[in-house]
């Protein structure tokens, strides 16, 4: 029971209202306003949820000022170095890191779900060859709802677990198929002798005529991208998944809604934007011109991959991704490649420039993950789909947490109405 309270007073004669204040394990306290309307007849106004905790959650914690990101209490720096993606997925889903036996069992379960129903492959033929992979993902992941009537009872934890496993296992297959469809190559079946990320790279880069031999440095790099993007608290796409799920919608439909939200350039599209920007700058000699444009208030141009809404001192994921970026460029001998040379020069110049230093505009995770994915041979238009693959773990864990929460209600925000006051319809012939 909360002992802290907050009192809201009104200057229009309404009586003051005392509200409980709730404390979490970490982070700011929250004022529990659930009874505010009943007690006072007012709503709160918070577009963009800048000051609203929309749920209780025990999954991810972020302290943007200190540059802290924890999954289930574990710092991202430790998870990224000591675990692989499926271990992190297990942690996010279940709350604890797996033992060796639990991990083996989880890996085996995921492997058993990697293939998609053969009928599902026909959906792809309905898309144009140049369909954006995110358009394909929104459609095909939503369409999974039509295939799994055997486990659609969302009140049954066992059914929820099966859906989570299916989604985590099939997202790489569906994403790689979107790529193969774009380039006109046959779909590659999953190889269950490979680990999760190596298998994804096989489905991307192998053909029926040529095997893909996984390079451990490159597989580890992509695996790290997946770990760093697996969850990020109540961001726009996660909140979308929760809101869609609050009506009782099935998990495939909810994840498809999350994918749609992630597609927006203000959310998952930044790493793609980094590559477009580097291509536009084109040469080290033009960096000065673009830095000048980024500082010009009358020019809408911003340096993509710099700055963050939450991490105001540094993005802990960016530090890890930077390391990976250099490992990959070394492994592939790409440090002298024009695009990557340009990226490194831009990073150096921006980090030393007073404008960026003063405003704490450091390269964010997307700056480096865009470069890494490009070096791995992943086409730019697939970057957000890979983000969706990783974030599926967070989305489904958050969805599951919401369904199990006894305080969960259908999401139904109210509004500050600014339209016409009530009026009467005038017959059409009498309207001026």
Q: Given its phi and psi angles, is residue 195 left (phi above 0), alpha (psi -120 to 50 degrees) or beta?
A: beta
Q: Interface residues with ligand CMC (CB under 6 A)?
A: 270, 294, 302-309, 359, 361, 364, 366
CB of 64 to ligand CMC, least distance (A): 10
Supply 44's token pair. 């709160």
User: Helices 270-281 and 338-352 sit at what angle, rounded to 10 degrees?
Assistant: 100
Q: Contact, 316 vs 76, CB < 8 A?
A: yes
**Residue 166 or 232 with smaller CB distance to ligand CMC:** 232
CB of 312 to ligand CMC, least distance (A): 8
Sorted by sequence, the CB contacts under 8 Å of residue 143 that are 6+ apart come out as 120, 123, 252
**Residue 203 or 388 with smaller CB distance to ligand CMC:** 388
Pick the catalytic residue from 308, 336, 337, 353.
Answer: 308
Distance from C-alpha of 43 to C-alpha of 37, rounded to nearest angstrom: 6
**Residue 173 or 364 with smaller CB distance to ligand CMC:** 364
CB of 230 to ligand CMC, least distance (A): 12
The reply to whether 232 belongs to the active site is no
Q: Per DSSP, what are the bridge partners of residue 75?
A: 70
Residue at token pair 């992941």? 141
**Residue 144 or 361 with smaller CB distance to ligand CMC:** 361
CB of 213 to ligand CMC, least distance (A): 32
**Residue 32 or 233 with smaller CB distance to ligand CMC:** 233
Residues recorded for the chain: 432
Supply 197's token pair. 């990320």
CB of 192 to ligand CMC, least distance (A): 31
CB of 97 to ligand CMC, least distance (A): 24
Supply 9's token pair. 């007073």
Closest CB to ligand CMC: residue number: 307
Sheet holding 68-71, edge to edge: 60-63, 68-71, 74-75
The reply to whether 84 belongs to the active site is no
**Residue 167 or 304 with smaller CB distance to ligand CMC:** 304
Pick the catalytic residue from 195, 223, 231, 366.
Answer: 366
Residue 366's SS3 state is helix
**Cα–Cα distance list, 107 to 88, 194, 201, 338 (Å):** 12, 11, 17, 40
CB atoms within 10 A of CB 292: 12
Catalytic annotation, residues: 308, 366
């Amino acid at each position: 029971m909360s002992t802290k309270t907050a009192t809201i007073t009104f200057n229009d004669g309404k009586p003051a209202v005392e509200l409980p204040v709730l404390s979490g394990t970490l982070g700011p306290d929250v004022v529990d306003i659930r009874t505010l309307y009943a007690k006072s007849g007012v709503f709160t106004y918070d577009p963009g949820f800048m000051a609203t905790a929309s749920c209780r959650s025990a999954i991810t914690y972020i302290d943007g000022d200190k540059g802290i990101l924890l999954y289930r209490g574990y710092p991202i720096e430790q998870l990224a170095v000591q675990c692989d993606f499926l271990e992190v997925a297990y942690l996010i889903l279940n709350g604890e890191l797996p033992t060796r036996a639990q991990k083996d069992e989880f890996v085996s379960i995921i492997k058993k779900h990697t293939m998609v129903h053969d009928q599902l492959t026909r959906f792809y033929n309905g898309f144009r060859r140049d369909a954006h992979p995110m358009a394909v993902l929104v459609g095909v992941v939503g369409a999974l709802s039509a295939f799994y009537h055997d486990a659609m009872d969302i009140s049954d934890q066992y059914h929820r677990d099966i859906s989570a496993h299916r989604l985590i296992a099939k997202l790489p297959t569906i994403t790689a198929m979107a790529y193969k469809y774009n380039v006109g190559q046959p779909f590659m079946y999953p190889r269950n002798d490979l680990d999760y990320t190596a298998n994804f790279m096989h489905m991307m880069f192998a053909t029926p005529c040529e095997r893909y031999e996984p390079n451990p440095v490159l597989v580890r790099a992509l695996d790290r991208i997946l770990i760093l993007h697996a969850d990020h608290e109540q961001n726009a796409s996660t909140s979308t998944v929760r809101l869609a799920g609050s009506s009782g919608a099935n998990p495939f439909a909810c994840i498809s809604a999350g994918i749609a939200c992630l597609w927006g350039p203000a959310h998952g599209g930044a790493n793609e934007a980094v590559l477009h920007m580097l291509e536009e700058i084109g040469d080290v000699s033009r960096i000065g011109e673009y830095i000048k444009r980024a500082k010009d208030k009358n020019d809408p141009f911003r340096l993509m991959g710099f700055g963050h809404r939450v991490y105001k001192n540094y993005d802990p994921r960016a530090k890890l991704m930077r390391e990976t970026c250099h490992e990959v460029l070394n492994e592939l001998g790409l440090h002298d490649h024009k695009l990557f040379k340009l990226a490194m020069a831009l990073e150096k110049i921006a980090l030393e420039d007073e404008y960026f230093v003063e405003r704490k505009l450091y390269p964010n995770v997307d700056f480096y993950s865009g470069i890494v994915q490009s070096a791995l041979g992943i086409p730019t238009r697939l970057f957000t789909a890979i983000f969706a693959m990783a974030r599926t773990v967070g989305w489904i864990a958050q969805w599951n947490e919401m369904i199990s929460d006894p305080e969960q209600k259908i999401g139904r925000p109210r509004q500050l109405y600014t339209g016409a006051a009530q009026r009467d319809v005038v017959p059409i012939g009498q309207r001026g």
